[in-house]
Amino acid sequence: MYFDPRSIRPMSGQFIGGQEVREGEAHAVPSPSDSDIAFSVDWASEDLVDRAVTDARRAWSRSGWGSSAPRERAVILHRWADLVDTHAEEIAGLEAVVSARIYPEVMSRDAKVVSGVLRYFAEYADKIDGTVTPTPQNSFSFTVHEPYGVVAAIAPWNFPIILAAWKFAPALAAGNAVVLKPSELTPFAAVRIAELAVEAGLPAGLFNVVQGGGAVGAALVKHPQVDYVTFTGSSATGARIMADAALSGIKPVSLELGGKGPQLVFADAPDLDRLAATIARGITYNSGQVCFAGSRLVVARPIADDLLDRVLAQMRGGRTGTTWDEDTTIPPIINQRQLDRIDAIVADAISDGAEALCGATRIDADRAGFYAPTVLRGVTTANRAFRDEIFGPVLAVQEFDDEDEGVGLANHPDYGLTASIHTSDVSRAFRAARRIESGTVWINDWGRRTDFTAPFGGYKRSGIGKDMGRSGFEKYMKTKAIWLELH
């Protein structure tokens, strides 16, 4: 056992103005790993949301953060990153105990991504230049970049601290204040990271955290002093956030939403054993609770049987368990509601003609909910397993005869977040990559690495705007043109 879950002592309130605020109705935060373990968090009222935003605006104005020297901001962010590394074990416990993130993965990946993102965007603070534009001889025109002011950031439960950091790190580096709402299912690690920001020297109030469900998020988006909204989550919730933002000030919004990623496998794909392991990992990692999961296998008919046999062998090799168990490779589903949804979609898919090659069932556990890694063959484009983002360890299989058919199946009518292409033919790989309507395409690979340079975001209902890379920094700044008439 990596840690004793009953030893965790999370902050249960809001984090406003550099301190905990204990107000609001208490709500249970159960551990998905063990239903006998539960914590409590206070949900913010609309008045508390207003207090958090107003405090952020006041701190932003009084501190001069937005107009401070970029290197001064960078120094604080670097110091903050060092503190995250120092407190990684504590943060990992707070994260793992109420999420599906396995403790060693939080230690080796998630916490390091948070500190790495802080350092990466700290170095962007003084790297964005203005532009002198062509003008007549008696004029001078140039552009400058300015922070928006107060950024509302809403993060999901599947990779809680990573996806929160993708938002608060660049927004703060660009000179904004941030009010973060983590998921009500995974509220604790983000608050501890916010405490460390103040310890690092970030002016109190520049990074506030409010807790609660959808109503809290809506109040934050609609607040008149919020200047920019960034959200990661479902496509349905993203649409509501767009509407709320439009009706409350026409404020800009960036959205990283759902996915239905294909693994497009041609008959000349290299190393089928390695490929099978990649495909299995692409749908079982984090129990499939991944927006960029490789949830659809689109495979050339001549190799379908052989490849599926190898994938099935990989899928049957995982071990379910708590997020603090040293042997766990397949973590629990986040809650009963999500488990019921996965089970219902699989049942509908089978009743509509799909064949379950493995799984298609809950795994009995005394105090937690798990779903068996599942492969569904013979899924049609009308089948719910093709249409819907399942957010569980369920792989939908379709077969094709030629390149056009394969690319056509890989292109989903609604989603376009990520895709993978597997082939030994470089020309075919690039042809398919250009034709697939997706924000990210991997060739002979799957999954994001821990680098920070590549922008991430989707097409269609998978979102608007990009996180990470240069795009993920510049979106938190607005551009002003300044003209000077020479006499």
Predicted confidence (pLDDT) per residue in 345-401, tens digit: 999 999 999 999 999 999 977 788 999 999 999 999 999 999 999 999 999 999 999
- In sequence order, the 6+-apart residues with CB closer than 8 A to the CB of 129 are none
Residues with a known catalytic role: 256, 291
Q: What is the pTM of this model?
A: 0.96
Would you state the pLDDT for residue 38? 96
Mean pLDDT of the chain: 96
Give per-residue pLDDT as tens, 241-254.
999 999 888 999 99
Our count of domains for the chain comes to 2
**In which order are the strands placed within the sheet that holds 139-147?**
132-133, 139-147, 477-485
Co-location of 251 and 268 in the same domain: no
- Check: CB of residue 257 under 8 Å from CB of residue 458: yes
Give per-residue pLDDT as tens, 13-57.
999 999 999 988 999 999 999 999 999 999 999 999 999 999 999
Co-location of 249 and 268 in the same domain: no
Would you state the pLDDT for residue 1? 87
Rounded to an integer, what distance in angstroms lies between the CA atom of residue 232 and that of residue 155? Answer: 6
Bridge partner residues of 400 (DSSP): 300
457 located within any domain = no
Residue 434 has pLDDT above 80, yes or no: yes
Residue 449 has pLDDT above 90, yes or no: no
Co-location of 166 and 267 in the same domain: no
487 located within any domain = no
Co-location of 252 and 291 in the same domain: no
Co-location of 212 and 329 in the same domain: no
Would you state the pLDDT for residue 6? 94
What distances in angstroms separate CA 36 from CA 13, 99, 319, 339, one per listed residue?
A: 22, 15, 21, 18
Co-location of 267 and 253 in the same domain: no
Co-location of 309 and 234 in the same domain: no
208 located within any domain = yes
Co-location of 244 and 317 in the same domain: no
**Residue 405: which CATH number?**
3.40.309.10
Would you state the pLDDT for residue 227? 98
Using a pLDDT cut of 90, give the percent of the chain over it: 94
Which of left, alpha, beta for 465 (phi over 0: left; psi -120 to 50: alpha)? left
130 located within any domain = yes
**Residue 25: which CATH number?**
3.40.605.10
pLDDT bracket for residue 317 (50, 70, 90): confident
Which amino acid, one-letter code, is at 183? S
Closest to 162 in 3D by CA, of 267, 91, 87, 226: 91
Q: Which domain holds residue 439?
A: 262-451
β 394-400/374-377 pair status: parallel
Co-location of 117 and 217 in the same domain: yes
Would you state the pLDDT for residue 121? 98
Closest to 40 in 3D by CA, of 296, 212, 205: 212
Give per-residue pLDDT as tens, 83-125.
999 999 999 999 999 999 999 999 999 999 999 999 999 999 9
Give the burial string for 170-196 (b: 16+ CB within 10 Å, else e). bbbbbbbbbbbbbbbbbbbbbbbbbbb
Co-location of 117 and 192 in the same domain: yes
Co-location of 319 and 414 in the same domain: yes
pLDDT bracket for residue 213 (50, 70, 90): very high
What distances in angstroms separate CA 487 from CA 133, 139, 143, 484, one per listed residue?
A: 19, 9, 21, 10
Co-location of 434 and 475 in the same domain: no
201 located within any domain = yes
